[in-house]
Structure 1
């Protein structure tokens, strides 16, 4: 279960082994710590007791603080959950070896395959209802496959030799994917194409907020797996930039954020903005709820079904073992 705190004036306290959520003029709610995985705080006007924070750390419940644009700016978690050093040493050493190229290639391959999977999912329902969108999707799929073939041909002794080539493949994949997505979106959204932080159109604002929640979740699972979230491979290092998080989420953007957000917008829901052009608390809560609900759904890995959030944990652990040269790092592709 994932708890979202979005109401101004909320007070989060501890009561035995339960979190007590008190919102002004509302009946208090309680949640058992054993049932929680994350607490996401999307408002700056709330209070968390030290006892509640300590209890969350004890039970392994990550607390993420997210700003109005969906960007995580702080996190509470136990330092003892990330005490392993062997994985981080292997991660740093891998940067100067062909392993770094393989991890970067994995990130793009996972992105391309999951984008294709999502297009197939949306295409199922548009063959008769929206022939133009269906045709655009059918044209996009071979393009994504061709880019994966290009990806296989890229070789290098370390990531610095081939990063620009790999990023070029990723960028062209984005053009193909978002071009197909544009044909599915209602005209009133005025989708200008994919834009990052600072975008003002409804589609990109909603996506960016959803990605922020995904980044916070990914940072937690990577750290728990013993990895350094700020030492990536495909994305370059920069102060304050969680480059490994950005690498890792490439395989989860389409499944965890694009699918629920595009579905919301396709059903007619629109984000509400305040007088400053920022998303209202109710809008942020709706997006966070949609993303968290999606991550709580189950998908198949092998012959078993797992929640998407647990698949993220599994993939982070596989990345750690791969960097230590103790196992494989297969690509996870969401069902469609």
Structure 2
């Protein structure tokens, strides 16, 4: 099994990263902030005004170390990518699948069904752990019907409609999952997020999307060509497809834990003149530390029946998807929370 490597999160403004022998050095002015063996690093995520030497960029590309740039507030900007790895025959098979409506739909159905089932599991877990709640129970029933509709969708457009309806139902009761924290969630707002909960969700989704991007590249698939999300210049459609399986079970539960355990509080956010809400620098660091710790938690993979760190989940699903596209398995087993 692949080993989970570390991720460097560079949040100090005006930091400079360069390569020194087989290590990665982080400096701020004349001050050395850290020096890390390159062999232990899987990804480097840079937030805001962070500079990376051309030699380190080239090294990261050659070694398959993900190098991703965000705005200071967590909006994705760019990703440095080296040569494509893996078998060209696998990617050609992927492109043929993407051009075949029925084959694309066969995988997309499973991904959407997994998203809906995992969303339902989050709601029912709350009912089970904290007592009956009519709104959550009713939403769970609706999601069960959406799950059946996803399995029989006859086109990608129809499937997207089912997914959109399920997401609306799920987020309509998301506020019920926030317990005594002072946070209020009125609905999913993406660009830009206009409340603290949406700000945390957007940042976490962005982080996991890059995990999916790296995982797909690692097994030789093209992250830009998906089966559910349509091709669009600059959009990693297959990474977004894979993300659907992890939204509720990983991202949403992670955000809910930070809020309900009061690790992140309302005073940890600021509102810009545009109305966009963002985490303060210290709060963003706290979220990233908690996110990295969460990736280390072990779980039993429901299909592989093997204990893995949560951070390897995108790699496992990308590997299973590649096997299916190659024809090694009859079906793609999406990630389902037990």
Q: Show the counterpart of 2:270.
A: 273
Sort the Cα spacing of 1:228 and 1:27 in 2 relative to 1 into closer, same or farther, 3 A: closer
Counterpart residue number, 1:261: 255
Q: Where does 1:108-257 land on structure 2 (aligned, <5 Å)?
A: 108-127=112-131, 134-155=133-154, 162-185=155-178, 186=180, 188-257=182-251
2:24 matched residue in structure 1: 19
The aligned residue for residue 33 of structure 2 is 28
Determine if contact 1:225/1:320 at 8 Å carries over to the other structure. Answer: yes
Q: Is the 8 A contact 2:299 2:309 kept in 1?
A: yes
Shift in alpha-carbon separation, 1:281–1:274, aligned structure 2, 3 A: farther
Q: Is the 8 A contact 1:69 1:208 kept in 2?
A: no
Q: 1:220 to 1:170 in 2, by over 3 A?
A: same
1:223 and 1:153, CA in 2 relative to 1: closer, same or farther beyond 3 A? same
Measured in 2, the distance between the counterparts of 1:101 and 1:257 equals 25
Q: Which residue of 2 aligns with 1:73?
A: 77
* 5+ long unaligned stretches in structure 1: 156-161
- What is the deviation of 1:273? 2.0
User: What residue in structure 1 maps to residue 66 of structure 2?
Assistant: 62
How far did 1:68 drift?
4.1
* 1:158 alignment partner in structure 2: none
How far residue 69 of structure 1 moved from its aligned partner, in angstroms, is: 4.9
Contact 1:256 1:291 in 2 (8 A): no
CA distance 1:88–1:179, shift in 2 (3 Å):
same
Task: Give 5+ residue unaligned stretches, structure 2.
Answer: 1-5
RMSD after superposition: 2.4
For residue 289 of structure 2, what is the aligned residue in structure 1? 289
Separation in 2, partners of 1:3, 1:265: 24
Query: Does the CA contact (< 8 Å) of 1:295 and 1:309 recur in 2?
Result: yes
CA distance in 1: counterparts of 2:31 and 2:123, whole angstroms: 42
Which shows bigger deviation, 291-300 or 85-94?
291-300
Q: Could you list the per-position Cα deviations for residues 103-141 of structure 1 after superposition, in whole angstroms to 9, with x for gaps in the alignment?
A: 1101201201221232344444422xxx5xx44333332
Name the counterpart of 2:111.
Answer: 107
Task: Compare 273-282 and 221-230 and name the one that shifted more.
Answer: 273-282
How many angstroms apart in 2 are the aligned matches of 1:25 and 1:281? 22
1:283-308 Cα offsets, whole Å, 9 max, x none, are 33333333333233221114311112
Query: What's the secondary structure of 1:248's corresponding residue?
Result: helix
The one of the two structures with greater contact order (alpha-carbon pairs below 8 A, sep at least 6) is 1
What are the superposed Cα offsets for residues 171-190 of structure 1, whole Å, 9 maximum, x if unpaired? 12112221232112257433
Count of residues in Structure 1 that have an aligned counterpart in Structure 2: 322
Partner of 1:333: 336
Tell me what 2:94 maps to.
91
SS of residue paired to 1:28 = strand
Q: CA, structure 1 residues 67+201, in 2 after alignment: closer, same or farther (shift >3 Å)? A: same
User: CA offset at residue 71 of structure 1?
Assistant: 3.3
Residue range with higher mean Cα deviation, 67-76 or 296-305? 67-76
Structure 2 residue matching 1:12: 3-state secondary structure: strand
1:235 aligns to what SS in structure 2?
A: coil
Pick which of 1-10 and 241-250 moved more: 241-250
Is the contact made by 2:113 and 2:151 (CA closer than 8 Å) also made in structure 1?
A: no
CA contact under 8 A between 1:70 and 1:210: conserved in structure 2? no
Pick one of 303, 307, 310 that aligns with 2:309: 307
Q: Distance in 1 between matches of 2:328 and 2:322?
A: 9
